[in-house]
């Protein structure tokens, strides 16, 4: 999708290098290009689905927030993580997790922790139910107030059925207490490592097979619907 976005709205740059096969590349589009009329429908045609409206509305909002959207976006690097996240949440379609992803991966906020169901499961299994979270704090001889807070966090995460705002904040706080200022990247390593666990790979296979079967059935039904119906004699 990103490739299609760049081809449609990005500037084309010729590549004059015989050592590679590429003759042209497309830059990521300027926000102003994505704020033009008709962008939403065009992006839907390119396969962006519900994201199309978010992209167009966010691009237009950037034009309202600043005369130069790129300057505004760059300015988020210079402010605190909390303030940067608050600004990002103004954009259409940007929730806490996406805002944290942007903060961590684009704005140098190393303490930003994107939390989803998978991250919550890692936190619950490997740090809360195992007791490692409290053991780490006790081993470091953290203050009594920190230990009491850790117990409250443990209760919240243990009882969690889904990622509510309170659970999101608790997982963030827990990783921050364990890993400090680089907790965002520590969480990323844990997340990627967990994806590579054999049991997770095995659990993904049935889903892939099921999705493939659904697509096959959908294609067959589409073909059937296009076939001319026989006339009754």
Distances (CA, A) of 95 to 84, 100, 143, 168, 197: 13, 9, 33, 12, 28
Euclidean distance between CA atoms 67 and 101, whole angstroms: 25
CB 96 within 8 A of CB 168: yes
SS (H, E, C) 48-93: CCCHHHHHHHHHHHHHHHCCCHHHHHHHCCCCCHHHHHHHHCCCCC
| Residue 109 annotated in active site | no
Write down the catalytic residue from 33, 85, 97, 209: 97
Q: What are phi and psi of 116, to 5 degrees?
A: -130, -170
- Detail the DSSP E strand segments found in 111-222: none
Q: Among all residues, which ones are annotated catalytic?
A: 97
């Amino acid at each position: 999708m990103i490739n299609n976005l760049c081809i449609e709205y990005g500037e084309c740059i010729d590549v004059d290098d015989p050592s590679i096969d590429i003759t042209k590349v497309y830059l990521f589009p300027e926000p102003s290009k994505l704020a033009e009329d008709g962008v939403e429908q065009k992006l839907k045609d390119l396969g962006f689905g519900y994201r199309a409206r978010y992209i167009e509305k966010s691009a237009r909002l950037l034009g309202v927030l600043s005369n130069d959207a790129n300057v505004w976006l760059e300015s988020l690097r210079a402010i605190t993580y909390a303030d940067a996240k608050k600004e990002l949440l103004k954009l259409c379609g940007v929730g806490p997790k996406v805002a944290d992803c942007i903060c961590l991966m684009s704005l140098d906020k190393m303490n930003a922790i994107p939390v989803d169901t998978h991250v919550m499961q890692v936190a619950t299994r490997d740090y809360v139910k195992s007791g490692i979270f409290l053991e780490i704090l006790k081993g470091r001889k953290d203050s009594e107030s920190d230990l009491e807070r850790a117990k409250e966090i443990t209760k919240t995460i243990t009882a969690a059925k889904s990622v509510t705002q309170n659970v999101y904040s608790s997982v963030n706080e827990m990783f921050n207490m364990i890993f400090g200022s680089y907790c965002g990247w520590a969480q990323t390593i844990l997340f990627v490592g967990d994806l590579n666990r054999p049991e997770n790979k095995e659990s993904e296979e049935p889903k892939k097979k099921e999705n493939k079967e659904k697509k096959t059935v959908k294609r067959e039904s589409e073909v059937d619907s296009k076939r001319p119906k026989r006339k009754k004699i």
